[in-house]
Amino acid sequence: MMTLHATSLRAFLAALTLATPAMADDWYPSRHGADDTLGAINFLSPDKVVQAARLVTTGKTYALGVPTGPDSPAYGPRRYAMTVLQLDDGLGTPLAANGITSNDDLLQTWMGIGSQIDGLGHLGIRHRYYNGKHASEFVTVTGLTTFGIDTLPPIVSRGVLLDMAAHFGKPMLEAGTVFNSAEIKAAASAQNVRLEQGDVVLFHTGWLSLSETDPERFMAGEPGLGEDGARYLGELGVVAVGADTWGLDALPGDKADELFPAHQELLARQGVYVLENMDTRALVADGVQEFLFVLGQPRFVGAVQAVINPVAIR
């Protein structure tokens, strides 16, 4: 498991801390009210689910999550380790008159590895998170007391896939390629789809295949969303934004002295959830642009993030 240039990243973060001026606190309270903790999930509704369900015409399902294991490329120092335990007497002797044998597993892993959802307590602005809530109010070593993944309802809505690789006319975008509101609008127009409030928007860049063939290059940078594009999607009222990349933001981005500005815009300012390492390849191969998106995330109490396997149904 690689640590992904941890020394360089620490130096970069230290430089940003010294160089970045204080930011105005004019982004909270949120449009959902000063006490809201769910953010854009408020845009989900039974009517939206019924509308999305009408997109199902073939019944074909697509797993959007990738397999997660010890070799999964991950943002250092995240790692994965599993131990399988036999719960009989340890000698291979079956238990009881009916000869019962069994296996169990002990998993030691970071929650933000593989295909994942970032909750609203994951990334903030100078220790303030969604709705201006300060880390001192909800972050404890045993879990978040607010914004925990366990508090989220299932995310079931209309999914929209925007093929940004096709928009730029390439099979795979290069690291550092940024797409913002202009590119998002153009791609949606070319696909003849309209983004709507309550949608889950996924971007295909072609980058995910590198995780299997060249994991070091995969983790060294990525194409992705810029701050302006994140703001556009957040103001539109989408529930979640994801991509076939490990960090959603373009790295390097269009502002050399900033790190993950799209994350800040989506999670902290807009309350929009982030989905990473989404496997969009089969959807693109089948020409799927709209689908029923279904995610019942695991309900680990106080979790910041979670490993997920959303399902697209066409």
Q: What is the DSSP letter of 302?
A: T
pLDDT digits (tens, 9 = 90+) for 5-46: 444 444 444 444 444 444 557 999 999 999 999 999 999 999
Predicted confidence at residue 187, as pLDDT, reads 98
- What is the crossing angle of helices 227-236 and 181-191, to 10°? 60
Structure tokens at 4: 């992904």
In whole angstroms, what is the distance from residue 175 CA to residue 195 CA?
26
pLDDT digits (tens, 9 = 90+) for 55-110: 999 999 999 999 999 999 888 888 888 888 877 666 778 888 998 888 889 899 99
> At residue 192, does pLDDT exceed 90?
yes
CB atoms within 10 A of CB 266: 32
Q: Indicate the residue type of 284.
A: V
Residue ranges of domains in the chain, CATH in brackets = 27-73+112-313 (3.50.30.50)
Least confident of 5-9, 207-211, 257-261, 309-313: 5-9
Helix H segments across 265-308? 281-285
Predicted confidence at residue 7, as pLDDT, reads 41
Gap between the terminal Cα atoms of the chain: 36
pLDDT digits (tens, 9 = 90+) for 193-238: 999 999 999 999 999 999 999 999 999 999 999 999 999 999 999 9
Predicted confidence at residue 293, as pLDDT, reads 98
Give just the sign of the alpha carbon dihedral 269, 207, 195, 119. negative
Choose between 295 and 91: higher pLDDT. 295
Predicted confidence at residue 74, as pLDDT, reads 87
H or E stretch covering 301? none
Predicted confidence at residue 31, as pLDDT, reads 96
**Average pLDDT along the chain:** 91
pLDDT band at residue 164 using 50, 70 and 90 as cut-offs? very high
List of residues 6+ apart from 273 with CB closer than 8 A: 39, 40, 41, 117, 118, 119, 120, 155, 239, 240, 241, 266, 267
Choose between 96 and 192: higher pLDDT. 192
Choose between 16 and 140: higher pLDDT. 140
